[in-house]
A and B are shown apart, each in its own frame.
Chain A
Amino acid sequence: MEKILEIKNITAGYDKEVIIENINLDVYKNDFLAIIGPNGGGKSTLLKVILGLLKPFSGEIDFKTKLNIGYLPQLHSNDKKFPISVKETILSGLLSRRKVMNKFTSEDIKHAQELIEKFHLENYTDLPVGELSGGQTQRVFLCRAMISKPELLILDEPNSFVDHGFSVDLYNILLEMNKEITIIMVSHDTGVITSYIKNIACINRTLHYHSGSELSSDLLDQYQCPVELITHGKLPHRVLKDHIHNGD
């Protein structure tokens, strides 16, 4: 498989406090990689390093080619009064094209419209984003991440606000996209670990990688990963091998 991204010996954190240590991780083309772990374990920190938003203390991120990245940040309380509409927010995902002053083309608008329909946002297009609910805002941000037709989609907790009904739709959309693009998804949610995911990285300061071959092996009765992996309904669930700690 073709490697698109190599994370080499990354140690990073904030204000000299180490959050993640000696992280090594390869990401392959058309991978659907889930990064899971407890709160404060360093999931978002790792994403920020990959995205270049946080400079690591040591180590390097090696992109094999220049990638167009779509990013869904973790939802934080956004400014309710900010004067930007749903449609404008979605189109802001096209900033990377870097054509200064270019008007959005009719093709862009059409693509935005398709995403708006896919994510059931038709009734909100002209509303300010700040007036939407958490789940709606998250859907708007998903559209923003996808509109540039990225080669790598990085999602930080995509299902934390999306209601359960839409959650399944979302994974179907992602599964469809995954045929052409690579997806890295962070989650602490239990429902995420579905059969769509190809590889899993458990992170809690250090990283344990569970490759796809391991994931398809037989189920165990006990859940030994530090994260709960129980899914609801008819979605199949999986259990990972125990971590082998050096020196434990």
Chain B
Amino acid sequence: MFEIFTYPFFINAMITALLASITCGIVGSYIVTKRIVFISGGITHASFGGIGLGYFLGINPIITASIFGVLSAVGIKAVSSNTEVREDSTIGIFWAFGMAIGIIFIYLTPGYAPDLMTYLFGNILTISQADMIYLSVLTVGVIIFFFILFKEILFIAFDENFARTQNVKVDLINYTLIAIVALSIVVNIRIVGIILVISMLTIPQATASILTKNFRTMIFLSIIFGFISSIGGLLISYDLNIPSGASIIFSSVVIFLVVKIFKSIMR
């Protein structure tokens, strides 16, 4: 089966997997540490509205989904911190409303949506050149942002009020981060699909957390575990002819269990 490593489509998939692992490793570590997994789930599903709109307008759904994702991310944060609506209720509203908009637009679009399943379950093997460029730009942006503001991000996540007393631009950094979370989610929808994307941002991090309690190490380990899961998932997907999204998640859970068991034995 190793001859597939020479096929261009597979090399593309591996590059995509590497970029996605880096983005998810960094952003996911922030999501897990800050405990905003549920917000991230809300953003994921809200962005489906953008995918529907993209179909309706006949443009790349990833572009419209990015706009929907960022607007709902900022919306969830703004509504829950400035009004009396509870945060989890706000998330629930955005979550369902985005899905509803998506379904409405898809039904209003003449003909049928040919690769709708791609957005629900993802397919790393059919990723387009445009999506790869988008992912590359995002990955570079995320690396630069976290490299420059690493301390601020960690310290704000740990104690926001204290950071405010130190004159840190807490709101600006928080809103930028939640927008980055949204963009990272949307670009990964193309790879593992709406239903599974949250796992790319949480399972490698959970595995890393078993081994370290240092934020920087957690990021690096998450990237490594994410990449191994992606390649493992790709091979399983190719071998058994099943959707790559599902096999990637399957291998990441296997890695989680192996590390967990290994750690228990070592103790």
| Size category of the binding interface on chain A | 20 to 34
Closest CB in chain B relative to A66 CB, distance in Å: 10
Closest to B158 in A: A84
Contact A83 B215 (CB under 8 A): yes
Contact A83 B161 (CB under 8 A): no
User: Which residue of the partner chain, among B33, B84, B147, B149, contacts A83 with CB atoms under 8 Å?
Assistant: B33
Verify if B213 is at the interface (C-beta below 8 Å from A).
yes
Contact B214 A51 (CB under 8 A): no
Main secondary structure of the interface of B (DSSP, over half): helix
Closest to B208 in A: A83
Interface size on B, residues (CB 8 A): 28
Closest CB in chain B relative to A68 CB, distance in Å: 9
- Bitwise, B137-155 to A at CB < 8 A (1) or not (0) is 0000000000111111011
User: Which residue of the partner chain, among A51, A82, A84, A129, contacts B165 with CB atoms under 8 Å?
Assistant: A51
User: Which residue of the partner chain, among B147, B152, B163, B213, contacts A128 with CB atoms under 8 Å?
Assistant: B213
A-B contacts at CB below 8 angstroms, number: 67
Contact A92 B162 (CB under 8 A): yes
Closest CB in chain B relative to A44 CB, distance in Å: 11
Contact A83 B164 (CB under 8 A): no
Contact B167 A144 (CB under 8 A): no
Contact B158 A52 (CB under 8 A): no
User: Which residue of the partner chain, among B35, B151, B209, B214, contacts A95 with CB atoms under 8 Å?
Assistant: B151
Verify if A69 is at the interface (C-beta below 8 Å from B).
yes
Closest to B149 in A: A100
Closest to B167 in A: A96
Closest to B147 in A: A101
Contact B165 A53 (CB under 8 A): yes
Complex Cα spacing A148 to B154, Å: 18
Residues from chain A with a CB closer than 8 A to the CB of B224 are none
Nearest first, the 3 A-B pairs at minimum CB distance are A96-B166, A95-B166, A92-B155
Residues on B lying within 8 angstroms of A by beta carbon are 33, 35, 84, 147-152, 154-155, 157-159, 161-168, 209, 212-215, 218
25 A/B residue pairs, CB under 8 Å, sorted by A: A15-B84, A51-B164, A53-B164, A53-B165, A71-B165, A79-B35, A79-B158, A81-B209, A82-B157, A83-B33, A83-B215, A84-B215, A85-B213, A89-B158, A92-B154, A92-B158, A95-B151, A95-B152, A95-B166, A96-B166, A96-B167, A96-B168, A100-B152, A129-B158, A148-B166
